[in-house]
C-alpha cells in the first residue's frame, strides 16, 4: 500500500477520508432505517387488526420513535453520507474542507443515534402520552415532570443537531472553496449545487431547533415555565421554534433528491441538460421556499409536518414540474442507455405526482380525516426522497463500492420500495378521505377502516422487504462479490467519472481541465476530434 493510502485509511474508526466517512454515514443510516421501518410496520399492522395486540401501552412512544428515527437517523444522514462521498469527486477536490470535523460529526451522529434509541428503551420521552416531535404542543410540559428518558432524548437530539450543523458547514465550505479551477458555481453539477443550498439551509434552520431543545430542557426542569400558559409560559414559543425548524427540514430532505435526479438523468441520457439555468434556479428557489409557509394561525394545533397552505403547494409543484420538464427534454434529446437508477427517478416523479393529485383532490373535496397527512408524509415528504437515495446508490455504485450493483436486484428493490410507498400512501389517503383520524393506536370497532389500514400495512411490509434487499445488495458489493466497475462505465459527464472506481484516497491521479459543466464529456469529445 502506498504511503498515501496508509495515511488516509488507517482504519475505519480513525479515518478522515471523506469517502469512508460518507460510506459509514450511509451504512449507519440504512441500519437505522431498518429499525424505523420495523416500527412503522408494527404500528400499521396494529391499526389493521382489531384490538391492541402488538403495541400495547407504548403507542405514543413507538410512534414518536418511528417518526424521529426515520427522518433524523435515516433520511438526513443518508444524504449527508452520499454528499460527503460524491461532492468532492464532482468538484475535483482531494478532500472535504474539514475532514476531521466531518469524521467527528459522523461519530456524533452514531453516538447520538444510539443515545436516542436508548432513550426510547429507558422510558417514554415526554411521558406516556407524548408524541415527541410530531406534536405541536410542547413535549409533556402539560403532563409534567422531567424524567431520564426525556432528558436523554433531548440531549441525543442536541448531539444529532450539532452533527448536522458541522457536516453542513463542512460541505458548504467544500463546495464554496474547494472547486477545481475552472469549475464555477454556475458550472457545478446539480447534486453539488443542491448540496450547497441544502447545507446553507441546514445551517440556518438547525440552530433554531437547538434553541428549542435548550428551552425544552429548561422547561422540563422548571415545571413548565416556558411553555405552559398557567405558569407564565406560552405554547406559541414551541410552535414557532418547531415550525421554523420543521418546515425547512422537510424541504431540505428533498432538495438533494432533486440534485441527484438531475445528475442521474443527464448521465444516463449521455448529454448535458437542455438548459441548466432553470434547474439551478429551481434548486435555489426550493431552498428559499423551504423557509416559507410562515403562517401560524392562532388556532394552530397543527403537527410538525402538514400539507402546506395551498398556494405554496402550487408553487412548489410548479418548481418541481419545471425540473421534470427539463429532465424529460434532456432524455428525449439524448441517447439514453437504460439503467436501473432511471427507474428510481421515474418512481420519484410518480410518487410526487400521486401526492400532488391527492393534494388537488383534498383541496377540492375538503378532507376531514387527519390520516390524510400521513399519506402525504409517506409519499411526498419521505417516500420520494428515499426512493432517490436508493437510486443514487445504484447510480454511483461504481464510485461508492468500485462495483456495479446487480441491475435485476435493483429492479426488484425499486418495485418493492415504490410499490410499498405507493400502497402505504394510498392506504393513508383513502383513510383520510373516509374521515379516519391520525395517531391512534387502534381504530374503534365499527369503523370500516380496517381494509385501508391493511392496504397500508402491506405497503409497509413491501417497504421493509425492499430495504432489506437494498442492504443485502450493498453488503454483497462491499464484500467484493459484485461485478467490478471501470472508471467511466456510463460515458459520464461530470468529474466524478474521471476518478478511478473506487477512487484512491487522494481522489484523482489526473484531473481533466474544466471549461464547461461537463468536463469529462469535453475530454471524450475533444479526444475524439
Partner 1 sequence: MFSYATKVLGALTVAALVTAGVYYAVEGGRSGAVLLLILSAAAFFGLLTVVASGVDIAPHVPADAPPPERNAHTPGPAATGSAWPVITAGSAVLLAVGVATNEVVVYFGLAAVGLAALGWFSKAWADHPTWTPRVGGRVVDRFVAPLTTPVGTGLLTALIAISLSRPLLATDVAVAPWISLVVAIAILGACAWIAVKPRVTSSAVTAIAVAGAIALVGGGIASAAQGEREYHHKAHVEHPVEITAKDNAFAEQRVEAKVDDHGEVIVDFHNLDHDVFHNVALYEGETPDAPAVFNGQGFPGHEEKTYRIHVEPGRYTFRCDFHANMVGTFVVGGG
Partner 2 sequence: MTTATAPAPAALPSAGGERPRNLIATGVALTCAGATMLFGALLAAYVELRSHTNEWVPEDVELDNYLGNMLVITMLLGSLTVAWSVSAVKRGEGRQAAAALTITAGFGLAFINLLSYTAARVHISPEDHAYGAIVGALAIALGIVVIAAIGLALLTMFRVRGSQVGPDNPDQARATAWLWHFATVASIIVWYAVIVRK
Contacts to partner 2 by CB under 8 A: 2-4, 6-7, 10, 94, 97-98, 165, 169-170, 172-173, 176-178, 200, 203-208, 210-212, 214-215, 218-219, 221-223, 225-226, 229, 231-234, 236-237, 240-241, 244, 504, 506, 509
Asked if 337 interacts with partner 1 (CB under 8 A), we say no
Q: What phi, psi does 514 have (nearest 5°)?
A: -105, 120
Residue 322 vs 346, nearer CB to partner 1: 322
Smallest separation, CB 233 to partner 2 (Å) = 5
SS3 of residue 76 by DSSP? helix
Complex with partner 1: residue 284 or 450, whichever CB lies closer: 284
Q: Which of residues 56-95 bind partner 1 (CB under 8 A)?
A: 92-95
Partner from partner 1, partner 2, none binding residue 222, C-beta < 5-8 Å depending on class:
partner 2
Residue selected from 52, 121, 218, 288 as contacting partner 1 according to rule CB under 8 A: 288
Q: Which range touches partner 1 (CB under 8 A), out of 56-64, 235-243, 376-384, 403-411?
A: 235-243
Task: Determine if 507 is a binding residue for partner 1 (CB under 8 A).
Answer: yes
Q: What's CA 103's distance to the chain center, in Å?
A: 20
Q: Pick the closer one to partner 2 by CB: 231 or 525.
A: 231
Does residue 256 contact residue 194 with C-beta atoms inside 8 Å?
A: yes
Q: Of partner 2, partner 1, none, which one sits near residue 3, judging by CB under 5 to 8 A according to partner kind?
A: partner 2
Q: What is the dihedral of CA 458, 121, 302, 77, to 10 degrees?
A: -70
Site for partner 1 in 5-24 (CB under 8 A): 7-11, 13-18
Q: Is 379 exposed, middle or buried (0-12, 13-18, 19+ CB in 10 A)?
A: buried
Which CB sits closer to partner 1, 21 or 345? 21
Please state, in angstroms and rounded to a whole number, the distance separating the CA atoms of residues 66 and 138: 18
Q: H or E element: which one contains 432?
A: helix 407-433
Q: How many CB atoms lie within 10 A of CB 528?
A: 6
CB 246 to partner 1: min, Å = 13
d(CA 149, CA 158): 14
Residue 202 φ then ψ, to 5°: -60, -40
Return d(Cα 189, Cα 195) in angstroms, integer.
10
The CA distance from 173 to 171, in Å, is 6
CA dihedral 508, 513, 518, 520 (to 10 degrees): -50
Q: Do 249 and 161 touch, CB atoms closer than 8 A?
A: no
Stretch that binds partner 1, among 64-72, 196-204, 352-360, 447-455 (CB under 8 A): 196-204
228 forms part of the interface with partner 1 (CB under 8 A): no
User: Which of residues 203 and 346 has its CB atom nearest to partner 2 in the complex?
Assistant: 203
Sole window of 49-57, 73-81, 148-156, 256-264 interacting with partner 1 (rule: CB under 8 A): 148-156
Helix axes 235-269, 383-395, angle to 10 degrees: 40
Binder of residue 108, out of partner 2, partner 1, none (CB less than 5 to 8 A by kind): partner 1
Q: Does an H or E element contain 483, and which?
A: strand 483-484
Q: Which does 206 bind (CB under 5 to 8 A by kind): partner 1, partner 2, none?
A: partner 2
Looking at the DSSP bridge assignments, the partners of residue 404 are 483
Q: How far is the CB of 245 from partner 1 (least distance, A)?
A: 11
With beta carbons less than 8 A apart as the criterion, state whether 302 and 370 touch. no
| 151: Cβ contacts below 8 Å, ≥ 6 apart | 217, 220
Residue 103 sits in the site that holds partner 1 (CB under 8 A)? yes
- Per partner kind, with CB cut-offs from 5 to 8 A, the member of partner 1, partner 2, none near residue 229 is partner 2
**Closest C-alpha to 456, from 51, 45, 65, 68:** 45
Q: Smallest distance, Å, CB 104 to partner 2?
A: 13
Give the one residue of 104, 344, 418, 449 binding partner 1; rule: CB under 8 A: 104
Whole-number Å distance between alpha carbons of 262 and 106: 27
Burial class (CB in 10 A: 0-12, 13-18, 19+), 58: middle
List the one residue from 137, 291, 407, 487 that touches partner 1 (CB under 8 A).
291
Of the candidate residues 31, 137, 210, 237, the single one contacting partner 1 (CB under 8 A): 237
**Residue 100, contacted partner among partner 2, partner 1, none, CB below 5-8 A by kind:** partner 1
Shortest Cβ 75–partner 1 spacing (Å): 21
Question: Which range of residues in 103-111, 264-272, 330-338, 443-451 is near partner 1 by CB under 8 A?
Answer: 103-111
Is 214 among the residues that bind partner 1 (CB under 8 A)?
Answer: no
Options 136-144, 186-194, 383-391, 465-473: segment touching partner 1 (CB under 8 A): 186-194
Q: Yes or no: say if 162 and 92 are a contact pair by the CB < 8 Å rule.
A: no
Residue 240 touching partner 1 (CB under 8 A): yes
Q: Which does 397 bind (CB under 5 to 8 A by kind): partner 2, partner 1, none?
A: none
Q: Least distance in Å: CB of 149 to partner 1?
A: 9
Q: How far is CA 77 from CA 30, 106, 434, 457, in A?
A: 9, 9, 35, 26
Residues 6+ apart with CB under 8 A from 360: none
Residues whose CB falls within 8 Å of the CB of residue 444, separated by 6 or more in sequence, listed in order = none
Interface residue with partner 1 among 27, 38, 111, 441 (CB under 8 A) is: 111
Minimum gap (Å) between residue 322 Cβ and partner 1:
16
Q: Which residue, among 158, 139, 152, has the nearest Cα to 219 in the 3D structure?
A: 139
**216 touching partner 1, by CB under 8 A:** no
Amino acid at each position: 500500500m502506498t504511503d498515501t493510502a496508509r495515511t488516509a485509511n488507517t482504519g475505519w474508526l480513525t479515518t478522515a477520508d471523506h469517502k469512508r466517512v460518507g460510506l459509514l454515514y450511509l451504512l449507519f443510516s440504512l441500519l437505522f432505517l431498518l429499525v424505523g421501518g420495523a416500527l412503522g410496520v408494527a404500528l400499521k399492522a396494529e391499526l389493521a387488526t382489531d384490538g391492541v395486540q402488538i403495541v400495547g401501552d407504548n403507542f405514543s412512544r413507538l410512534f414518536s420513535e418511528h417518526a424521529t428515527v426515520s427522518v433524523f437517523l435515516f433520511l438526513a444522514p443518508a444524504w449527508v453520507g452520499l454528499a460527503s462521498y460524491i461532492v468532492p469527486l464532482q468538484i475535483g477536490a482531494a478532500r472535504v474542507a474539514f475532514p476531521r470535523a466531518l469524521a467527528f460529526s459522523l461519530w456524533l451522529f452514531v453516538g447520538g443515534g444510539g443515545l436516542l434509541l436508548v432513550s426510547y428503551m429507558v422510558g417514554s420521552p415526554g411521558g406516556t402520552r407524548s408524541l415527541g416531535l410530531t406534536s405541536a404542543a410542547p413535549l409533556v410540559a402539560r403532563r409534567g415532570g422531567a424524567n431520564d428518558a426525556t432528558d436523554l432524548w433531548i440531549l441525543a437530539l442536541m448531539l444529532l443537531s450539532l452533527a448536522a450543523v458541522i457536516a453542513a458547514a463542512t460541505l458548504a465550505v467544500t463546495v464554496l472553496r474547494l472547486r477545481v479551477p475552472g469549475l464555477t458555481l454556475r458550472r457545478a453539477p446539480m447534486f453539488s449545487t443542491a448540496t450547497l443550498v441544502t447545507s446553507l439551509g441546514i445551517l440556518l434552520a438547525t440552530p433554531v431547533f437547538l434553541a428549542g431543545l435548550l428551552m425544552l430542557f429548561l422547561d422540563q426542569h422548571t415545571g413548565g415555565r416556558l411553555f405552559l400558559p398557567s405558569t407564565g409560559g406560552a405554547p406559541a414559543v414551541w410552535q414557532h421554534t418547531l415550525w421554523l425548524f420543521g418546515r425547512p427540514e422537510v424541504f431540505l430532505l428533498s432538495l438533494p433528491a432533486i440534485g441527484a435526479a438531475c445528475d442521474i438523468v443527464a448521465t444516463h441520457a449521455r448529454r448535458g441538460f437542455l438548459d441548466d439555468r432553470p434547474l439551478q434556479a429551481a434548486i435555489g428557489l426550493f431552498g428559499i421556499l423551504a423557509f416559507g409557509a410562515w403562517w401560524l394561525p392562532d388556532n394552530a394545533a397543527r403537527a410538525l409536518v402538514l400539507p402546506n397552505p395551498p398556494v405554496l403547494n402550487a408553487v412548489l409543484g410548479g418548481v418541481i414540474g419545471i425540473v421534470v420538464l427539463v429532465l424529460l427534454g434532456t432524455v428525449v434529446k439524448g441517447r439514453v442507455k437504460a439503467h436501473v437508477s432511471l427507474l428510481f427517478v421515474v418512481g420519484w416523479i410518480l410518487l410526487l405526482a400521486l401526492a400532488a393529485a391527492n393534494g388537488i383532490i383534498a383541496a377540492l373535496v375538503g378532507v376531514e380525516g387527519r390520516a390524510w397527512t400521513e399519506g402525504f408524509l409517506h409519499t411526498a415528504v419521505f417516500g420520494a426522497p428515499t426512493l432517490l437515495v436508493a437510486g443514487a446508490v445504484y447510480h454511483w455504485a461504481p464510485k461508492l463500492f468500485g462495483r456495479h450493483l446487480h441491475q435485476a436486484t435493483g429492479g426488484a428493490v425499486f418495485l418493492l420500495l415504490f410499490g410499498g410507498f405507493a400502497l402505504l400512501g394510498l392506504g393513508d389517503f383513502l383513510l383520510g378521505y373516509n374521515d379516519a383520524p391520525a395517531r391512534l393506536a387502534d381504530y374503534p370497532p365499527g369503523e370500516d377502516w380496517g381494509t385501508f389500514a391493511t392496504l397500508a400495512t402491506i405497503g409497509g411490509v413491501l417497504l421493509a422487504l425492499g430495504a432489506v434487499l437494498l442492504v443485502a445488495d450493498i453488503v454483497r458489493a462491499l464484500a467484493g462479490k459484485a461485478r467490478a466497475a471501470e472508471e467511466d462505465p456510463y460515458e459520464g459527464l461530470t468529474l466524478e467519472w474521471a476518478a478511478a472506481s473506487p477512487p484512491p484516497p487522494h481522489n484523482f491521479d489526473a484531473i481533466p481541465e474544466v471549461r464547461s459543466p461537463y468536463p469529462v464529456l469535453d475530454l471524450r469529445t475533444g479526444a475524439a476530434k
